[in-house]
Structure 1
Amino acid sequence: MALKIGDRIPDFLAKDAKGDDFDSRELIEKKPLVIYFYPKDNTPGCTAEACGFRDQYEDFKDLGAEVIGISSDSVDSHQKFAKQYKLPFILLSDSDKNIRKLFGVPSNIFGLLPGRVTYVVDRNGVIKLIFDSMMAAKHMPRALEMIREISEGRAK
């Protein structure tokens, strides 16, 4: 079952692009999070989306938020992707698609491609925005707008 606005995000574990263990409980209830699921490293849309988050990353950090990108690519693939495009945020490998299932991220294009969904979560781990669109360039601006609302106390 897919998560909805107002739900608390589930705890999850994964490997990051460095091969280190990542535990979501280390960030939940400490800072707002942007968690974006994307189909695949080094594809045109996913690269544009990642570079959009990279280019505005300091704005997210200045607002106290962390950005986390998740796909089913391997740790090695993430490491190369992050290095090639100088991605400063966390990339997580969800090779078994368990995190995608936990969130209920749908597949798109007749189930052939993993979905592209961004979740913005407040400091308490509560989902404030779910943006489900294959339009890669639209995710970062929507996420940044919601993080601003959260930081200014305007988020519902």
Structure 2
Amino acid sequence: MRNVLSEGDTAPDFTATLTDGSEVTLSEMLKDSGVILYFYPRDNTPGCTTQACDFRDNFDSLKESGWRVIGVSKDSAKSHTKFIDKHGLPFELIVDSETALHQLYGTWTEKKLYGRTFLGCIRSTFAINQDGTLAWVGYKVQSKGHVERVMNDLNS
């Protein structure tokens, strides 16, 4: 059974590897700003590109509002670097090739497509306040338009 988080819960702390090979810890990042952690299935696919570009296009507004954006997928550092360069992404991506972070946040689960069952990522977003609580939680979010919804909810 997967771990499902809700608004108001304490976000699970983690240490993860960024595209450049450096490590980042949630509790350390929260000392400087809130964190928007978004999980997506795969670099350079249509829905994931739409989602990443939506975060890119709203990056300055999010940053001005005190949020740091970080994407998470199972892709390799090489794939992430190409994705960042191709689309001019101004934020970091976490390499979660073993799906440990996906599992911690409940975004790695059984999926079905065309009668086939497999394990995969549920497109999800978490906004984490500086005190470590979840301000916004969305599982199975749409790739288009959900960034605006997150921003509206956080600013209301």
Which TM-score band (shorter chain)?
0.7 to 0.9
Note if contact 1:63-1:147 (Cα within 8 Å) is conserved in structure 2: no
Considering fraction of residues, name the structure with more strand: 2
Instruction: Give the fraction of aligned pairs with identical amino acids, expressed as a percent.
Output: 34
Question: 2:43 matched to 1:36?
Answer: no
Note if contact 1:108-1:115 (Cα within 8 Å) is conserved in structure 2: no
More off after superposition, 108-117 vs 90-99: 108-117
Matched AA of 1:124:
D
Q: How does 1:8-27 map to 2 (within 5 A)?
A: 8-27=10-29
- Aligned to 1:136, what secondary structure does the other structure show? coil
1:35 Cα offset (Å): 0.7
- The unaligned stretches of length 5 or more in structure 1 are 150-156
* Superposed CA offset, 1:35-56 (max 9, x none): 1100000000000000000011
1:130 is aligned to: 137
TM-score by length of structure 2 reads 0.88
What CA distance in whole angstroms lies between the structure 2 residues aligned with 1:46 and 1:108? Answer: 19
What CA distance in whole angstroms lies between the structure 2 residues aligned with 1:121 and 1:75? Answer: 24
- The unaligned stretches of length 5 or more in structure 2 are none
1:15 Cα offset (Å): 1.3
Question: 2:151 matched to 1:144?
Answer: yes
1:146 Cα offset (Å): 3.0
TM-score by length of structure 1 reads 0.88
Match of 2:6 among 1, 4, 7: 4
Note if contact 2:40-2:72 (Cα within 8 Å) is conserved in structure 1: yes
Q: 1:108/1:116 Cα in 2 relative to 1: closer, same or farther (>3 Å)?
A: farther
What CA distance in whole angstroms lies between the structure 1 residues aligned with 2:154 and 2:31? Answer: 15
Matched AA of 2:95:
S
Q: 1:33/1:147 Cα in 2 relative to 1: closer, same or farther (>3 Å)?
A: farther
1:101 is aligned to: 103
Q: How does 1:43-58 map to 2 (within 5 A)?
A: 43-58=45-60
1:121 Cα offset (Å): 1.4
